Amino acid sequence: MQVSVAHHPPNTAVLVLRGSLDIDTAPALKANLNRLVERPSPRVVVDVSGLDFCDSMGVGVLVTASGRATERGGWVRLASPSGFLRRLFDTLGLTDYLALFPDVAAALKE
């Protein structure tokens, strides 16, 4: 999995994921997200348009980061989920917990 981060004002980061998010790559995502959600009022958009696979470990990292951001007065939003990811989050009952947006621009809007 490839991870890149771009910073946008005000205090917002866009994390772009490419490849497979699974038990082998989840620790790298966790490290990146932990660093971002430790800021005061963290605002993180995770662009998942480039993910071709996501297992339970990856979902767990996203859910945990979202909870930590909320505790610190911020948020984590997912942008551009594929049909597979939308169905996965629906099946797991996470669509009320994780904010899904059609693209990065929509996720960046208040």
Question: Per the confidence metrics, is the pTM higher than 0.75?
Answer: yes
> Which residue shows structure tokens 């911020």?
74
Q: What is the tens place of the pLDDT at every residue in 46-56? A: 999 999 999 99
Q: What integer pLDDT is reported at residue 48 of this predicted model?
A: 96
pLDDT tens digits, one per residue of 13-57: 999 999 999 999 999 999 999 999 999 899 999 999 999 999 999
CA–CA separation, 91 and 18 (whole Å): 23
| 102 close to 86: Cβ distance less than 8 angstroms | no
**CA–CA gap between residue 15 and residue 7 (Å, rounded):** 9
User: For the segment 66-95, what is each residue's pLDDT rounded down to a tens digit?
Assistant: 999 999 999 999 999 999 999 999 999 998
- HSE at residue 54, side-chain half, CA atoms within 13 A, is 23
Q: What is the pairing mode between strands 12-21 and 2-8?
A: antiparallel
